[in-house]
Each structure stands twice: as structure tokens, then as C-alpha cells.
Structure 1
Amino acid sequence: MYRRAAGSQDPRTLRSRSLLQDALLEILRQSPGATVAVADLTERAGVNRSTFYQHYREVDDLLADALDARAVGAGADLESIPPDAMSGSEPPAAFLAYVEHIAANRVLYRRVLGGQGSPATTERLRRRLVDAIVASLQLRPPPATRTPTIVTASAMAGALLGVLSCWVELMPHVPAREAAGWAWEAVMRAAPDAT
């Protein structure tokens, strides 16, 4: 099961990470297609290169942390999806909040989920979705299938990611609530029936 790293509570560490995250998001909002060099990033953040490498291996890891922090700050923590969420026909509040977070940061998520991609961010999102789906599927009676639960959950998470990836590219933009409904419908269709 994926969980965020506990991280240091040292105020200097938190401050350095926050400065780097803010600088990266600012750069990407101004130039969504830009390749971000560590030197440019650290200059904008007002920290040195060694500070960057004390906290991150690469810019993609920083981007994943920055978007995670913004999602949690917006009340869009996918880890708070209740295990019984798959029993309803409507998306759970935490998932809807996450889709609204994506809508509010659409330019960034086009980069993350689109052609340029962000492997670290996409993988974290996929794992969180898989964890939530596995927890939900484990509450149901076993389905009449030989497919392991983790495989089923991965397929369902892939459906969610596919809908979200398509949605951030749509023009004109479709509201978050409607996109969350599409994604939830795709997952509910893929959910195995118990017999």
C-alpha cells in the first residue's frame, strides 16, 4: 500500500521543499511546456543546487511532491476515500475534490497526464487509486473470476486515469463534476460482480 513518506518536520526542510515546490509550479504555470533545469529552479527558489539534491533526485519527483501538497491542501486527498465508496453510484467526495483540484490546475495536469507526462506523479496517482479500489473490493463478496483483486484494481485505476487524461485535453473544458461522473461510471462498469 502506498503512503506518503513521513518526511522531516524540521522547519528548514519544510521551508526548502516549499520554496522549491512553489518555484517549480510558478515556472510551469508561466511556461507549461518548458523543460525545467535545476539551476533555473534553484535560482528562482533562492536555494542552492545542493539543497535541491538533498531533497529530490530529479525535477519530476519535486513535481509529484508539489502536486501532492497542493491536492492535500485543497482537501483532495485520495487516501481519504472510504473503503465503501464503490457501493455508491456517485463519486465519493474525496475523488470529486481531487478532480476539482485537477480542474483548478489544469495547465499543470495537462503536462502531468498528457504527452510530456510525469512518471512520478502518474505512478503515485495510480497507486493511490489502486489502494482505494483494493480496499473497496475487499469489502465485497469474492467475485466469480480468477483475476486477482490487485489486477482488477489496477485495471479500474487505469480506467480512471484514462478518463482524467482525456478530460484535461478536451476543448471546450468540461466541468469537474461531469468528468468525475464519467470516471466513476467507467470504474463502476469495470467493477466485478459478486455471484
Structure 2
Amino acid sequence: MSGDRRVRRTRRLIQEALVALILDKGYDAVTVTDIIERADVGRSTFYSHFTDKQDVLLSNLDELTALHRPPADGRPARLLAFSLPMFEHVREQERLVRALLGRRGGGPVYARGEQLLAAVVRDELLGAGARPSAGLDLLVVCVVGAFMGLLRAWLDGETPATPAELDAAFRAAVEPGVCAVLGESRRQQASRSPL
């Protein structure tokens, strides 16, 4: 087994141990010792990969969010293109996401999830023609809030909606505002263009 493969395997064991422990007893009750014992790794091995339990938690979230970045050219095929694939991925990775963002997860990871999603949304809106502004920043907050609210409701069992139903509700709530801001950005760009 190559060194890279061993590193990935060890990291994955530690990440999975944390997820299982969060689901068993909640994030706040989990200790690094618990993670080490569940993953069956040594303390020095743990600390060669992660600084603490929050680092393990955030690494899971970073990997989840990295899957849903907009295309390299910055132009998604559809406005808010991250939504349906992310809801579908959440359904596929329900155990992980429930541990990270559900009631038993830690507050820091929810805030980190919002930050990561805000970067995805901001990049997508800039790629669709929005201009950097205070208005764009407020729009990103609204879009992220709507998405995270639906996600949290599903994770907490408040709705049995499918990913497609969650995506439809999300789009119905935010697309009109997003389109209005993008239209305004385009009008401002056109008015500044030389004749």
C-alpha cells in the first residue's frame, strides 16, 4: 500500500470514528481519546493528521463542500446549479451530514458549513454576472440561509421531502431575488459600457 493510500485510509478511519461517536453521544461529549479508541489508531498517529476533534469535523465538511464547486470557467449550466446535486449528495451521505449538521453536531461546523456554502454561492453568482457589492453580500446571506434552513429541516426530520422537492422549494424561494440582482448588475454594466 502506498504512503498516500495509507494516509487517506487513516484519515478516513479517524473521520468515520468521529461521525459514529457524534451520532452516539453528540459532538460536545466526544473526546480525542474516544476518537482514537474508536478508530484504533495511536495518539501520535491522530495528531500527525489532525490538530483536534474540531479539525477532524471540519475536514469532513470541507470534503463534502469541495464536491460542489462551480465549473472552472465559472459559468454553471443553470443558476444555483449546486442545489440539487448537493441535496442529492446529502441524501447519499445522510449519516455523515446528520452528524456534521444535525442536532448532535457541533456549532462550529454549522458556521463553517455556512461559510463554505457562501463561497460556492458567491463564486456562482459572480460567474453568472453579478458584481461584487454589499447587495451581493446580502443576497449570498439570503441564499445560504434558505438552503441551510431546508437542509436543517430535513436533517432534523421535520420534512420527508426528496432532494428534488427540496431543490424546488429552494429555487421557488430564492430564484426571483437572485434573478432581480443579476438583472440589475447587467443593467449597470450595460449603462457603463461605451457606445
Q: Same fold (TM over 0.5)?
A: yes
Q: Match of 2:86, as an amino acid?
A: Y
AA in 2 matched with 1:126: E
Q: Contact 1:42/1:52 (CA < 8 Å) preserved in 2?
A: yes
Across the two proteins, how many residue pairs are aligned to each other?
177
Change (3 A) 1:189 1:169: farther
Change (3 A) 1:113 1:183: farther
Secondary structure at 2:134's aligned position in 1?
coil
Match of 2:68 among 67, 75, 78: 78
Structure 1, 79-88 or 10-19: larger mean CA deviation: 79-88
* 160, 167, 172: which one aligns with 1:185: 172
Correspondence for 1:16: 10
Deviation string 1:71-124 (CA, Å, 9 cap, x unpaired) is: 47xxx8111467444854xx52x4322212222343543443344443453344
Structure 2 vs 1, CA of residues 141 and 157 (structure 1 numbering), >3 Å: closer, same or farther? closer
1:29-87: CA deviation from partner (whole Å, max 9, x where unpaired): 5x264632211211121211222223223323212323544x47xxx811146744485
- For residue 176 of structure 1, what is the amino acid of its counterpart? P
- Mark the structure with the bigger radius of gyration: 2
**1:158-173 correspondence runs (5 A):** 158-171=145-158, 173=160
Provide the C-alpha distance between the structure 2 equivalents of 1:140 and 1:163, rounded to a whole number of angstroms. 26
Matches within 5 A, 1:47-86: 47-69=41-63, 71=64, 77-80=67-70, 83-85=74-76
In structure 2, runs of 5+ residues without a counterpart are 188-195
Decide whether the 8 Å contact of 1:38 with 1:59 is kept in 2: yes
Residue in 2 aligned with 1:99?
Answer: 87
One-letter amino acid of the structure 2 residue matched with residue 150 of structure 1: D
- Contact 1:113/1:122, CA 8 A, preserved across alignment: yes
What is the TM-score normalised by the length of structure 1? 0.70
CA contact (8 A) 1:56 1:62 kept: yes
Q: Which residue of 2 aligns with 1:5?
A: none
- Alignment equivalent of 1:42, drawn from 10, 30, 36: 36
Unaligned runs of 5+ in 1: 1-8
Q: Distance in 1 between matches of 2:124 and 2:85?
A: 19
Go from structure 1 to structure 2 and tell me whether the alpha carbon gap of 1:190 and 1:119 turns closer, same or farther (over 3 Å shift): farther
Alpha-carbon contact 1:64-1:121 (below 8 Å) kept: yes
Q: Which amino acid aligns with 1:106?
A: E
Q: Is the 8 A contact 1:167 1:174 kept in 2?
A: yes
Q: Name the TM-score, length of structure 2 as normaliser.
A: 0.70
Of Structure 1 and Structure 2, the greater helix share is in 2
Same amino acid, percent of matched pairs: 27
